[in-house]
Chain A
């Protein structure tokens, strides 16, 4: 279904951009493991954010499900996923490098001033760090989530002895990331406090641009894509401990914003189940 959408998005593009379009290769593939069975919370957020960003920029791409996407990835700071392959050689992984590459090839944010662009870039880094680390913390350090959600999911992706090895390796990796970003000693409340601070900043940003409708002005930008990716993934992933989703649900304004993006780019399918969830509470 998304291929169709991306095709329509490509067809809808204005002819004035034809000259630049040549830089974007015809075979752009987005690689990610199967979303429903393999992806963990943080990886799912990242994949969703990249997909939203590419749809927003109206760039054609085809989604490819590859179970080994993680091992194809050229690296990255946090999740190493998803992987964008442009043409035969060039590969980019994770949200920020992909956005930087798209910005270099296409003038996607030329309607913003230089100052604004810097603010957005730094907010993107901040939001990505805080939300991804919170997701990693929730899925690897919170023992309920780890034992009932993360561990079985990683182990199910591989046959027996390999599954165990991968689980331990991924856990070690996640703990190492948390340690590097100095989050290793935090408990759930402190994590939620950090998330709260980050979301406060986003709400303030949204209020500042209230009349225009998006986080940075009248058009959607990478920050919208990133926030939507994380919020949608957190809200729709069923974890044993839903504290993270609960704290995000207390920001109705931001949720409404995400729902608008969902309507516009995904036909309202992604967040359709969330309303029922909120109503049932």
Chain B
């Protein structure tokens, strides 16, 4: 318990009313909040600091535990195991089902959030870039894309970098729909999947489905399917509202109230406003590069280096030439 005092969990900030936009972060948050572990959550942090290049990570003093698995191990040791209230059989089933959901939904999640080029460029990249501090926001969102490439290659057997019509997304969608149907049947009218107590299985189902259900992607075939399973929708909404009452975040609500003028802007104008900062940065970097290149071309660097040495030949020669030109 004493160790918990300085402990801090670093996650990505949420969106669409969710506590976090990232599956791993949401899963770690579930561990924390389901078990009522008294720990602070930091939502504006730098993936660079985690040591693994990704959030979530848990910081206790100078020690860092990056990734869900390590965080879970720490919480188990600290006396907040998530499966504590289950019977032995339920514990086994919880682990097995959690693994099964992971196997069947992980590829769908990675393909439609990061692998599908249109989805990634219009939505996901922006979500991650806005939550990462400045120079790193050009790098870290793409690292998720690279990871998705591996996940899809291993679990679905096609290459994300191929042409779009070679993507075998249908198989993923069919598989994911089957999983959702089974989950809906398993949940029935219960509060949690194992009746009255939460489990790791609930955490993983919530983390996948909440993000897939709430995120606004141009192409997300599972979203409508989840909408059809009312008990799963209730499950998601109940956990979001009851357990993550304080963490849930949505940028739309906050920006709508103060600015009435922004609503009158057209979509393209708003896009221009959003891209303003990026344009300035690109223009600035471009200008500096252009000036540097011009200077190099005019031989300024040569002058600087030769002036410090004893050899004045280059400068004299140039001066002579200049005088000749004036004559």
Q: How far is the CA of A197 from the CA of B83 in the complex (A)?
A: 13
Q: How far is the CA of A16 from the CA of B155 in the complex (A)?
A: 39
Q: A176-B150, A204-B89 are in contact. Are A76 and B103 (CB under 8 A)?
A: no
Q: How far is the CA of A179 from the CA of B52 in the complex (A)?
A: 13
B88, B95, B97, B154 — which one has the most chain A CB atoms within 10 A of its CB?
A: B154
Taking the closest CB of chain A, its distance from the CB of B90, in whole angstroms, is 11
**With an 8 A cutoff between CB atoms, is A187 at the interface?**
no
A118 and chain B: residue at smallest CB distance:
B182
Q: Once the chains bind, are A129 and B103 in contact (CB under 8 Å)? A: yes
Q: Once the chains bind, are A200 and B155 in contact (CB under 8 Å)? A: no
Q: Give chain B's interface secondary structure class.
A: helix
Q: Once the chains bind, are A122 and B95 in contact (CB under 8 Å)? A: no
Taking the closest CB of chain A, its distance from the CB of B199, in whole angstroms, is 14
Docked complex: B88-120 residues within 8 A CB-CB of A: 88-89, 92-93, 95-97, 99-100, 103-104, 106
**With an 8 A cutoff between CB atoms, is A277 at the interface?**
no
Q: Once the chains bind, are B150 and A180 in contact (CB under 8 Å)? A: yes
Taking the closest CB of chain A, its distance from the CB of B183, in whole angstroms, is 10
- Chain A: residues with CB nearer than 8 A to chain B? 75-77, 118-119, 121-123, 125-126, 129-130, 176-177, 179-180, 182, 185-186, 197, 200-201, 204-205, 208
Q: How far is the CA of A130 from the CA of B103 in the complex (A)?
A: 11
Q: A125-B100, A126-B96, A197-B95 are in contact. Are A182 and B154 (CB under 8 A)?
A: no
Taking the closest CB of chain B, its distance from the CB of A200, in whole angstroms, is 7
Q: Once the chains bind, are B155 and A77 in contact (CB under 8 Å)? A: yes
Q: Once the chains bind, are A125 and B150 in contact (CB under 8 Å)? A: no
Chain A residues in 8 Å Cβ range of B182? 118
Taking the closest CB of chain A, its distance from the CB of B141, in whole angstroms, is 19
Q: Once the chains bind, are A126 and B150 in contact (CB under 8 Å)? A: no
Q: How far is the CA of A126 from the CA of B96 in the complex (A)?
A: 5
Chain B residues in 8 Å Cβ range of A121? 100
B104 and chain A: residue at smallest CB distance:
A125
Taking the closest CB of chain A, its distance from the CB of B125, in whole angstroms, is 21
Chain A residues in 8 Å Cβ range of B97? 122, 126
Q: A122-B96, A197-B95, A200-B92 are in contact. Are A177 and B69 (CB under 8 A)?
A: no
Q: How far is the CA of A76 from the CA of B104 in the complex (A)?
A: 13
**With an 8 A cutoff between CB atoms, is B226 at the interface?**
no
B157 and chain A: residue at smallest CB distance:
A75
Q: Once the chains bind, are A119 and B93 in contact (CB under 8 Å)? A: yes
How many residues of chain B are within 8 Å of chain A by beta carbon?
24
Q: Once the chains bind, are A201 and B150 in contact (CB under 8 Å)? A: no
Q: How far is the CA of A17 from the CA of B157 in the complex (A)?
A: 36
Docked complex: B150-200 residues within 8 A CB-CB of A: 150-151, 153-155, 157, 182, 186
Chain B residues in 8 Å Cβ range of A205? 92
Q: Contact partner of A176 among B68, B93, B100, B153, CB < 8 A? A: B153
Q: How far is the CA of A197 from the CA of B92 in the complex (A)?
A: 8
**With an 8 A cutoff between CB atoms, is B248 at the interface?**
no
Q: How far is the CA of A223 from the CA of B169 in the complex (A)?
A: 29
**With an 8 A cutoff between CB atoms, is B67 at the interface?**
yes
Q: Once the chains bind, are A176 and B154 in contact (CB under 8 Å)? A: yes
20 A/B residue pairs, CB under 8 Å, sorted by A: A77-B155, A122-B97, A125-B100, A125-B104, A126-B96, A126-B97, A126-B99, A129-B103, A177-B154, A179-B150, A180-B151, A180-B155, A182-B67, A185-B67, A200-B92, A201-B92, A201-B95, A204-B89, A205-B92, A208-B89
Query: Known pairs A76-B157, A204-B92. 15 more at Cβ < 8 A?
Result: A75-B157, A118-B182, A122-B99, A122-B100, A125-B96, A125-B103, A126-B96, A180-B106, A182-B68, A185-B70, A197-B95, A200-B92, A201-B92, A201-B95, A205-B92
Q: How far is the CA of A242 from the CA of B67 in the complex (A)?
A: 29
Docked complex: B63-90 residues within 8 A CB-CB of A: 67-70, 88-89
Chain B residues in 8 Å Cβ range of A118? 182, 186
Chain A residues in 8 Å Cβ range of B99? 122, 125-126, 129-130
Q: How far is the CA of A119 from the CA of B67 in the complex (A)?
A: 28
Q: Once the chains bind, are B89 and A77 in contact (CB under 8 Å)? A: no
Q: Which 8 A-B pairs have the closest CB atoms?
A: A201-B92, A75-B157, A122-B100, A126-B96, A126-B99, A180-B154, A125-B100, A180-B151
Q: How far is the CA of A126 from the CA of B67 in the complex (A)?
A: 21
Chain A residues in 8 Å Cβ range of B68? 182
Taking the closest CB of chain B, its distance from the CB of A264, in whole angstroms, is 26
Q: How far is the CA of A122 from the CA of B157 in the complex (A)?
A: 21
Q: How far is the CA of A185 from the CA of B155 in the complex (A)?
A: 19
